[in-house]
């Protein structure tokens, strides 16, 4: 999970820092605020490695909370956000 999280973090950061890859209607400065939101998963998965030695069920709870967090739109670029 940590490796996957690192891969997604790199992918999102690459796309966000290269405006040519984004839709022209996307505000490149505004979308950069998504990078810290995506790094939360990286922290959760990295912490879960050590936590797995203490409690496997707690790791499952952390993963579930992370999945719920990412189930909602993390990108501030939807056309109906009023900007």
Write out pLDDT tens, residues 9-33.
888 888 888 878 888 887 777 778 7
Count of other CB atoms within 10 angstroms of residue 41: 22
Look up the domain containing 12 and give its range: 2-70
Return the pLDDT at 71: 85
Domains held by the chain: number? 1
Distance CA 64, CA 13 (A): 24
CA distance 26 to 35: 15
Is residue 11 assigned to a domain? yes
Q: How far is CA 53 from the centre of its chain?
A: 25
- 61: pLDDT strictly greater than 90: yes
- Alpha carbon distance 67, 61 (integer Å): 10
Q: Give a yes or no: residue 27 inside a domain.
A: yes
State yes or no: pLDDT of 56 exceeds 90.
Answer: yes
């Amino acid at each position: 999970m940590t490796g996957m999280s690192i891969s997604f973090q790199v992918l999102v950061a690459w796309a966000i820092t290269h405006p040519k890859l984004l839709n022209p209607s996307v505000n490149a400065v505004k979308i950069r605020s998504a990078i810290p939101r995506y790094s939360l998963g990286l922290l959760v998965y990295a912490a879960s490695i050590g936590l797995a030695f203490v409690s496997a069920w707690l790791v499952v709870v952390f993963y579930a909370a992370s999945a719920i967090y990412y189930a909602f739109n993390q990108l501030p670029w939807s056309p109906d956000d009023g900007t």
